[in-house]
Chains A and B, each alone.
Chain A
């Protein structure tokens, strides 16, 4: 997974310029329509005095409750014969003004509290935030009601009440950002130059939190318009003859059954207004949120997509349990294509351990994950080659068949046992589940089998350990559990993807010797992915060295270790620290990285542009 990301990142820097934020926003149909609607509503509200509308307060008892589309009254008239269209435009003006004012007040006081609390820290922070927590302990609208109750009904009081209950949202957001900024170098520099606290807060920090204030405003203004309209609807906001959209709706409600249009129309206007703001706000957030921009929140499907351009037909190693021929795996991100694996051939005999060695980004993990379709799609895609398990081509079989093979014939051990075990299920749950997915046995039998498995990986008190959660075990223990899980159904092949990398050195050695012993006992073949030649020399019979998505050298472990043919292999071997030779670096970075730079010229570019 990490390799996939690094390959992608490498390519992105090279990718063509992305469209600007405004372009992106307008490309989003929903956001663009929200913007258009909002501009229309605001324009109508602003131009109200210039529009050819009748006086919104002119009553005409003779023309009361006219239906919409009546001559001279496009939207009809209300109970006093007033023109609804005119009242609607003027009411929108009031609602918008109140909503914007409430937002500005909440933003001003909330940001001030957040800035001071975040910058001052300590007791001031504790005191202010405790107060904010208290306000948030009230159900949102209820506190506004209490404030209106105290101040008395009226549009201005409703505005204050709604502003007050929204202060916490600003205070919390701004405080979070301010705390981070206060520890930054430019703030220290300003302090050393003798600037006052107020000067730093408003001169240095405020400009940096301004975008956050604006984003918070765009997400809260919709609510504030909605809630002030609500208070007016209840008769606690605008008082006659003044009218906003909420009070129009409230008055219309009294004649709901006889003249529904009087209440439906202003409600529709509130809805349109809030909807347009929310559409635009969502669009703005999508553009500004870098996580959404990179498409990282796309859900991977159950199996890697297979779209093979080439399918090899002949097998060369008929005696092997697994044979991979000309495997190609690509990542498709937007219009860019990154080739992570570019034509790999592998074969694995029964009981054999094959090591795949390479630096991160070399494509070794993607190779291993491609076999059982565990490369995330999107963006991953298998674009060529075949993988024969016995007589079956794994890229040609059905999804259901792959599911049946996973964990039964081919099992996996992954790198970090803390993130690969489910944090919310007990070890026992996760083990029995692995067994019961492939065998129709009862839970009690599965429990017994799980206990056996734990004993097999040398875990003491297995019955007790079944009841614990992953976070209650040490790293080494957790990896033993993962190995037990891989052994649950006597798999023919175990794919181990850097199984010892996340562990400390002594535990590494234990896990390696355990895997070696178990392999000899069970006669399973192991595909062992690692970046560490030291590990390879301990457990692998043969080794394949990968660089930039290709195998650059392969042979028995002895051959490769004793006489590496490829300079890259030599560099990798040199990275293994040897006791008593302090001159040999234990950090791979320098040697390998130098080679990477040289190599990059020799190996054709992996970035294949498309359109």
Chain B
């Protein structure tokens, strides 16, 4: 198993290189002169030349990439002009907040989605199935940023049950209960779409599995229906749902951009939106790169879990 994980990690390296090239190229494609964009009204010829030299923009593109990559591998993502601090410091600080939010949402959507999908399949065409099907349809169609606003109106303004924004209370907060209190609404909002997708696929996977010959065998052995469904069928369905959960990690990380903005969560998503508005491009570059790399690792973890569950893949 260790060998398998090592192999998968090695295979992820070219993907990470590819990501770095795409991120670099997107930033290199910026129309106009980035130095002028950064400097705005301070764009004197000397300043422009200095920034160009700073950014290495006076060199040919491949060389620029290699220099950039070299710095990247040493943990140097450049300096944020707007914040006047190293990009890496800012990105890592923000990313830890995003990980708490997205991680919670991912756990939430996996549990709720699997549960809803299984219930829906077991009660196929029953009342529970119909209710879940409609909820799932609503879940995957609802704009999450709008749902966030509705939840704030309902649970922070009308009923003052949860705070409307932020990660910790300004006075006297900072402990775990305070974090969870602030986390609940944004994590729930972020989980809604992914829950719908996972529930839908779990339902299909369960229905597919329940028709298999080995389920008939399990019944022929005289196992209780509960055991047939929750042990035999669920494990087989889980194997096909796990990769989907890995993919949902990408949608959750991406969706965090909206939710962090709505709930003013100090994560990397709200940082990116601000950085785009202030044209702080190195910060955008660093942020996108770190989140993309995290997503690659999420998918890798999903692959490993799937392999652990399914001996045929080993």
A→B interface (CB under 8 Å): 1, 30, 130, 133-135, 137-143, 145-153, 222, 226, 229-230, 233-236, 249, 253, 256-257, 260, 263-264, 267-268, 270-271, 274-275, 278-279, 282, 296-300, 302, 372, 374, 376, 403-408, 411-412, 414, 416, 419-425, 433-434, 437-438, 469, 471-472, 482, 485
| B143 & A422 in contact (Cβ 8 Å cutoff) | no
Contacts of A1 in B (CB 8 A): 213, 216
| A134 & B149 in contact (Cβ 8 Å cutoff) | no
27 contacts between A and B (CB under 8 A): A137-B19, A137-B295, A137-B296, A139-B291, A141-B258, A145-B288, A146-B26, A229-B143, A249-B146, A257-B157, A267-B150, A268-B146, A271-B143, A274-B141, A275-B137, A297-B211, A299-B121, A299-B122, A372-B220, A374-B216, A411-B221, A419-B212, A419-B214, A424-B239, A424-B311, A433-B223, A482-B217
| B257 & A234 in contact (Cβ 8 Å cutoff) | yes
Please give me the residue from chain A that is nearest to B31 by CB atom: A151
Q: Is B8 an interface residue (CB 8 A)?
A: no
CA distance A403 to B21 in the complex (A): 60
B→A interface (CB under 8 Å): 15, 18-19, 21-23, 26-27, 29-31, 121-122, 124, 137-138, 140-143, 145-146, 149-150, 152-153, 157, 204, 206-208, 210-214, 216-225, 227-228, 232, 235-236, 239, 249-251, 253-255, 257-258, 261-262, 272-273, 275-277, 281, 284-285, 288, 291-292, 295-296, 309-312
| A267 & B143 in contact (Cβ 8 Å cutoff) | yes
| A149 & B213 in contact (Cβ 8 Å cutoff) | no
- Tell which of A299, A403, A406 has the most Cβ of chain B within 10 Å: A299
State the Cβ distance, A163 to closest chain B Cβ, in Å: 15
Contacts of B254 in A (CB 8 A): 139-142
| A414 & B310 in contact (Cβ 8 Å cutoff) | no
Contacts of B251 in A (CB 8 A): 139-141
State the Cβ distance, A270 to closest chain B Cβ, in Å: 5
State the Cβ distance, B4 to closest chain A Cβ, in Å: 16
The DSSP consensus for interface residues of chain A is: helix
Please give me the residue from chain A that is nearest to B291 by CB atom: A142
Contacts of B15 in A (CB 8 A): 133-134, 137
Contacts of B150 in A (CB 8 A): 264, 267
CA distance A424 to B314 in the complex (A): 12
CA distance A133 to B253 in the complex (A): 18
CA distance A271 to B216 in the complex (A): 42
The DSSP consensus for interface residues of chain B is: helix
Please give me the residue from chain A that is nearest to B298 by CB atom: A139
| A406 & B220 in contact (Cβ 8 Å cutoff) | yes
| B253 & A139 in contact (Cβ 8 Å cutoff) | yes
Contacts of B223 in A (CB 8 A): 403, 407, 433, 437
CA distance A33 to B236 in the complex (A): 36
CA distance A151 to B37 in the complex (A): 12
Contacts of B26 in A (CB 8 A): 146-147, 149-150
State the Cβ distance, B40 to closest chain A Cβ, in Å: 14
Contacts of A485 in B (CB 8 A): 217, 221
Contacts of A374 in B (CB 8 A): 216, 219-220
Q: With A302-B228, A438-B222, A471-B311 as given contacts, are A423 and B143 in contact (CB-CB < 8 Å)?
A: no
Q: With A1-B213, A422-B236, A424-B311 as given contacts, are A138 and B292 in contact (CB-CB < 8 Å)?
A: yes
| A149 & B275 in contact (Cβ 8 Å cutoff) | yes
Contacts of A271 in B (CB 8 A): 141-143, 146
Contacts of A130 in B (CB 8 A): 18
CA distance A260 to B146 in the complex (A): 11
| A411 & B220 in contact (Cβ 8 Å cutoff) | yes
| A138 & B213 in contact (Cβ 8 Å cutoff) | no
| B29 & A150 in contact (Cβ 8 Å cutoff) | yes
Please give me the residue from chain A that is nearest to B255 by CB atom: A141
| B261 & A234 in contact (Cβ 8 Å cutoff) | yes
Contacts of B141 in A (CB 8 A): 222, 226, 271, 274-275, 278
Q: With A230-B145, A298-B207, A424-B239 as given contacts, are A142 and B277 in contact (CB-CB < 8 Å)?
A: no
Sorted from nearest, which 10 A-B pairs have the closest CB atoms?
A: A267-B146, A141-B254, A407-B222, A406-B222, A139-B250, A275-B141, A407-B221, A139-B254, A419-B213, A412-B220
